[in-house]
Amino acid sequence: MKWDGRSISLIDQRKLPQVEEYVKCESSDCVALAIKDMVVRGAPAIGATAAFGYVIGAIENKDDLCVEKMNKIKEKLAKTRPTAVNLFWALERMHSKFLSLKGDPDYVIRSLNDEAERIANEDIAVNKKMGEYGQSLLPSNATVITHCNAGALATVDYGTAIGMIHAALDHGKVISAYVDETRPYLQGSRLTAWELMKLGVKTTLICDNMAGWVMKTKKVDAVIVGADRIASNGDVANKIGTYSLALLAKRHNVKFYVVAPISTIDLNIKSGSEIPIEERSHDEVTSIKGIRIAPDGVGVYNPAFDVTDASLVDAIVTERGVIFPPYDGKIEKVVRGG
């Protein structure tokens, strides 16, 4: 993402890897649509984008910069994606900052701009810390399976799960990756494979339903995924298919690691059963790149996320260190800085 103080330019992830094209948003409506339509995706990236969208909303309402107007901006942006908690975390942080400010509109907007830039810069620093902690879990010659995209494209920069691989490479480790294609939106084949190849990782693309056989017949050290929301008990909401991978990993004695910032942990959620699961357009399943692959009139169920039980997670990597099970009590202690 590129921010110039008045507009944000977002690489259109729907068109990668064939076309590298940017969408320039100069209105809060445009930012909301970009999040909703997955021009930008990935929990940390969504949060940072929403923060800059809030600043744009303030600029739009400069002549009448009141609480009522900014409440509406916050609500509009919050409605875009229901599962990724970073969205709500970033908007709450921006709105709290706004409510604390006094002075002329130019000062308020400058202060909000500074806060949004802090959120973005903090994300990069957090990702690098998580990468450093996470890489210690991998052997010097490791083979991993990835799911969805948790790299630089899903964050402001560097990545969460892919950041762990990035850091391992920086430490001289040799990493090979089997990349789940991640149906129906193909974030793995379109985005993660592209990013890993740019990093110089030996990358092998597999269909989602091949992961179990790969674990059984190949030497796989770990499954590494990101997260969109983590409950206080350690249940993890992530891209659909994550739960299946976790079950397969448990069956084949493969480590299952979740890499996510503290902002992804929702202490208000006691377990995964309370996490709202977004269901997306049926067209994502019945068509690929506008080409229909299913019969007209077929029923479709398209949840964008699933929830992996904490009992299937071998470690949660955060910027404050690695949390190992049992998670009850430990997660809250880490979040609160204990």
Query: CATH code at 94?
Result: 1.20.120.420
Torsion angles phi and psi, residue 26, rounded to 5 = -110, 5
Spatial distance between the Cα atoms of 79 and 50, rounded to a whole number of angstroms: 11
User: Is 228 a known active-site residue?
Assistant: yes
Spatial distance between the Cα atoms of 113 and 292, rounded to a whole number of angstroms: 43
DSSP code of 190? I
Torsion angles phi and psi, residue 335, rounded to 5 = -60, -40
Total domains present in the chain? 2
Question: Are 91 and 179 found together in one domain?
Answer: no
From first to last of its 338 residues, the chain has per-residue pLDDT tens of 899 999 999 999 999 988 999 999 999 999 999 999 999 988 889 999 999 999 999 999 999 999 999 999 999 999 999 887 889 999 999 999 999 999 899 999 999 999 999 999 999 999 999 999 999 999 999 999 999 999 989 899 999 999 999 999 999 999 999 999 999 999 999 999 999 999 999 999 999 999 999 999 999 999 999 999 999 999 999 999 999 999 999 999 999 999 999 999 999 999 999 999 999 999 999 999 889 999 999 999 999 999 999 999 999 999 999 999 999 899 999 999 86
Question: Are 56 and 162 found together in one domain?
Answer: no
Give me the pLDDT at residue 168, please: 98
Longest Cα–Cα distance of the chain, Å, equals: 65
Taken in order 74, 80, 85, 86, the sign of the CA dihedral is negative
Contacts for 191 with CB less than 8 Å, ≥ 6 apart: 13, 16, 17, 149, 151, 153, 154
Question: Are 216 and 313 found together in one domain?
Answer: yes
Q: Where are the alpha helices (DSSP H) in the chain?
A: 28-36, 43-60, 67-78, 85-100, 105-135, 161-170, 187, 193-199, 211-217, 242-251, 283-286, 330-335
- Tally of CA atoms within 13 A in the half-sphere of 149 that contains its CB: 32
Question: Are 103 and 161 found together in one domain?
Answer: no
Range of the domain at 294: 133-335
pTM for this model (two decimals): 0.88
Q: Which of 157, 208, 221, 228 is catalytic?
A: 228
Question: Are 97 and 187 found together in one domain?
Answer: no
Spatial distance between the Cα atoms of 263 and 328, rounded to a whole number of angstroms: 18
Spatial distance between the Cα atoms of 127 and 161, rounded to a whole number of angstroms: 9
User: Can you state the angle between helices 105-135 and 161-170, rounded to 10 degrees?
Assistant: 60
Nearest to 33 by CA among 45, 44, 49: 49
Give me the pLDDT at residue 43, please: 86
Which of 58, 93, 128 marks a domain boundary? 128
Give me the pLDDT at residue 330, please: 95
The secondary structure element, H or E, covering residue 323 is strand 321-323
- Tally of CA atoms within 13 A in the half-sphere of 80 that contains its CB: 32
Tell me the one-letter amino acid at 104.
D
Question: Are 47 and 63 found together in one domain?
Answer: yes
Contact 137, 221 (CB under 8 A): no
Question: Are 159 and 283 found together in one domain?
Answer: yes
Q: What are the tokens at 2?
A: 């590129």
Q: What are the tokens at 170?
A: 């920086």
Give me the pLDDT at residue 336, please: 92
Which of 128, 146, 163 marks a domain boundary? 128
Which of 128, 154, 179 marks a domain boundary? 128
Question: Are 113 and 138 found together in one domain?
Answer: no
Question: Are 252 and 327 found together in one domain?
Answer: yes
Question: Are 56 and 191 found together in one domain?
Answer: no
Question: Are 122 and 146 found together in one domain?
Answer: no
DSSP code of 122? H
Q: Which residue has the tokens 């909401």?
A: 237
Question: Are 192 and 295 found together in one domain?
Answer: yes
